[in-house]
Structure 1
Amino acid sequence: MDTVRFDPGFDRYDELLALILAAFAYMDGRIDPPSSAHALTVDSLRRKTSDEIAFGAIAGGELLGCVFLKPEPNCLYVGKLAVAPASQGTGIGRHLIAIAEETARSLSLPALRLQTRIELTENHEIFAAWGFVEAGRSAHPGFAGPTSIEMRKVIGPTL
């Protein structure tokens, strides 16, 4: 598997959008409000890859995973972590989180931060197994109770 950083020469936005939508499809009907992945377009992904740090996992020429990273004060935000459904459970997600950790270290940021929906308990378990801990809960606009869990992972220095 190769890991590539999406740079200005990246031109596989249709494939990237299809990957994200396929990876997030299992959430449909399970989470409220619906995933923000539904609002993505080829144009918005093009902007997102220029505004954020984005990586893809490619094997056999096929885009199998992606992650978007955004530096924030004291952490690196991990967003749109997606793995093709047929490739889930093969270590691609863990590999992309390792890339996020390397990126955080290179930016001298001490932690990773992500958000996962309350209803997606299987994701909470996976992120916990990868070293993330719950750091808070929040509600989307218009919702009285929490809809998201914030999880953080402290990143140690490279030895």
Structure 2
Amino acid sequence: MTAANKAVSIERLPTGFDRWDELLALILNAFAYMNGVIDPPSSALTLTSENLAERTRAETVFLATAGKELLGCVFVAEKADYFYVGKLAVAPTAQGAGIGKGLLAAVERFARESGRSILELQTRIELTGNQRAFGRLGFVETARTAHPGFDRPTAVTMRKVLA
């Protein structure tokens, strides 16, 4: 059964969530295609179950699930005048079923409810498909930056102003 055949629910991380190993596996599996493609390697490779749990104390997390199966996640960090969208991940077996769009829609609702009108994210220079996908969702490139130690741009910053 594919994600398209399942009833997918998108909700904020529930109180008492304790499936950190599963959430870590979801992120690592979703980001695995980047290995050997982007330089420097994804910060996802430095994640642990423990620092994921810690991160949720400072960030809002939305999960996409079908029954008990974790299909996707997104982390949202509050900044001075916008929300930063990070670690948007969809299980490879569930990609193409609209889960990423659903997670971003939840982030947009959350931003509006919080009185914020701007979302920002970064994607890597090499991931032109991601740049196009975010562009189709209303994000526009605002900057290109370099990771420490690099003399060339390694990341594309994109913003979306909510209507």
- Shorter-chain TM-score bucket reads over 0.9
Q: Whole-Å Cα distance in 2 between the matches of residues 50 and 5 of structure 1?
A: 13
Paired amino acid for 1:106: E
1:106 Cα deviation from its structure 2 partner:
1.2
Structure 1 unmatched runs, 5+: none
Percent identity over the alignment is 56
Give the aligned partner of residue 155 of structure 2: 148
Q: Secondary structure at the match of 1:51?
A: coil
Give the aligned partner of residue 23 of structure 1: 30
Give the aligned partner of residue 74 of structure 2: 67
Q: Which runs of 4+ in 1 moved over 3 A?
A: none
Q: Does 1:108 align with 2:115?
A: yes
Q: Whole-Å Cα distance in 1 between the matches of residues 144 and 27 of structure 2?
A: 24
Give the aligned partner of residue 96 of structure 2: 89
Q: Secondary structure at the match of 1:78?
A: strand
Q: Whole-Å Cα distance in 1 between the matches of residues 17 and 67 of structure 2?
A: 17
1:130 Cα deviation from its structure 2 partner:
0.5
TM-score by length of 1: 0.96
1:8 Cα deviation from its structure 2 partner:
3.8
Give the aligned CA root-mean-square deviation in angstroms. Answer: 0.8
Q: When the two structures are aligned, how many residues end up with a matched partner?
A: 156
Structure 2 unmatched runs, 5+: 1-7
TM-score by length of 2: 0.93
1:28-79 deviations in Å (ceiling 9; x for gaps)? 0000000000000000000011210001000132000000001112211000
